[in-house]
Amino acid sequence: MRGNRRKLSHRKFCSDFRRTFFTMKVIKHWTRRGRRGGGVALCIRECLDSLELDDGDDRVECLWVRIRGKANKADIVVGVCYRPPNQDEETDELFYKELGEASQSLALVLVGDFNLPDVCWKYNTAERKQSRRFLECAADNFLTQLVSEPTGEGALLDLLFTNRERLVSRVMVGGRLGQSDHEMIEF
């Protein structure tokens, strides 16, 4: 799977996607109607049985997908989120509610651009109140953050969380997709 923020239209994204990942399907969710950029998308291999889950409140830019497990393996819930830098506390709380529901899954992977440059992920500390609340929510949902290198503008903005040890491995940061100003996260 790959996570990356892009500032482009739905049509351009799908065109670039098909050229790069022709064996995958795009599950998309564009919440920024009438505005340029933003929104989220998820690329999943076509051979995987996946189902888009109810996306909750339109103010929260998240996409939640359940990937069905095969042969007695548990399903995995995958979330892709974009949190604008100036997001208000009320919208953050709506996201925390969605995350709490998704965290009920035995296997959860959450990736996205959370725009929390003041968080020190090594020590789980933050300067701003909103960032400390985000850390609290991650801890309450037993999430571990796995990215350790800067992903955009010299800061660790794009994050990868899981609620189960060894569910995600070989996390790599590097390379850009299209005209993105952030590094890709591959795992």
Q: Quick one: residue 74, left, alpha or beta (phi over 0 = left, psi -120 to 50 = alpha)?
A: beta
Provide the pLDDT for residue 58. 80
Mean pLDDT of 158-180: 86
Of 98-107, 131-140, 146-155, 165-174, give the range with the top mean pLDDT.
131-140
Provide the pLDDT for residue 101. 94
Q: Please give the model's pTM, rounded to 2 decimal places.
A: 0.81
Which sequence spans correspond to the domains of the chain? 2-186
Inter-residue contact 33 to 53 (CB < 8 Å): no
Q: Which residue has the higher pLDDT, 73 or 126?
A: 126
Q: How far apart, in whole angstroms, are the C-alpha atoms of residue 167 and residue 109?
A: 8
What would you report as the CA-atom Rg of the chain, rounded to the nearest whole angstrom? Answer: 16
* 15-59 confidence digits (pLDDT tens): 555 555 555 566 666 555 556 666 787 878 888 888 888 767 888
Q: How far apart, in whole angstroms, are the C-alpha atoms of residue 115 and residue 112?
A: 9
* 75-97 confidence digits (pLDDT tens): 999 999 999 999 999 999 999 99
Q: How far apart, in whole angstroms, are the C-alpha atoms of residue 8 and residue 12?
A: 6
Secondary structure class of 37 (helix, strand, coil): coil
Of 4-8, 21-25, 104-108, 127-131, give the range with the top mean pLDDT.
127-131
Q: How far apart, in whole angstroms, are the C-alpha atoms of residue 34 and residue 56?
A: 20
Mean pLDDT of the chain, nearest integer: 82
2-186 CATH: 3.60.10.10
